Structure 1
Amino acid sequence: MFSEYLHKLNDLQNAAKAAKKGKWLDDDTQEQHVRNVVWTLENRRHLLETSRREPIDAVVEYVRDGSTLRVLLLPSFTYVTVMITGIRVRQLMIDSAFGEFVFISGFRRLYATVRC
């Protein structure tokens, strides 16, 4: 069983080498596949004006609590913190008893594609 798994991984690695994908990509085309991530947004008003108040595709990267999310805006790869109003969420003290609960509830929202 384990040798079949390693054999399959080896076949996939050889296929990636032949197709020049991943770390076997040519050096001259690597720069085209690197995304420039904007970690801090200097002009928030400009973001609102360019979106014309239309929904923006985003991926939820981190859930701080029920009303605060860290999202990655697509296709500009800009990280923003979204604070949702009008949601009533109990404030939990994170200790060993609530750690698993917070992890499970946050995990359900992580990496979900949303429109904000």
Structure 2
Amino acid sequence: MKIRIKGNSIRYRLTKTDVERFSNNGYLQEQTVFGNGVLTYALQVFDSNQLSASFEDNKITIFMPDTMVESWVTTDKVGFEDIIAPLHLLIEKDFKCLDNVAEDQSDNYPNPLLHC
């Protein structure tokens, strides 16, 4: 799972394996070590009708409604987004890049733009 933060926008991108693990467990997390500190970011299934988020103890958690999870995993739907002022939240499947990059993309979803 990747995180991208810009201003009040938080985006998570998940590989095929991430989506499968999240679907099976209802929870997924990653950590980044900063010297003596750790930033944890997580995605958790939640009984709600919209995305929401919290930030506690250096941990960002985005909560995804269970109804979204099922349709996301079983269809070609790319992702979901919500604006919970002032936050803009986006959860999406991670596609293979159209240009050459050094990172391993073998577990990413096929880019739909390649089929145009």
TM-score between both structures, scaled by the size of structure 2:
0.22
**Structure of higher CA gyration radius:** 1
Q: TM-score, normalised by structure 1?
A: 0.22
Give the number of the structure whose residues are more often helix, by fraction: 1
- Report which of the two has the higher share of strand: 2
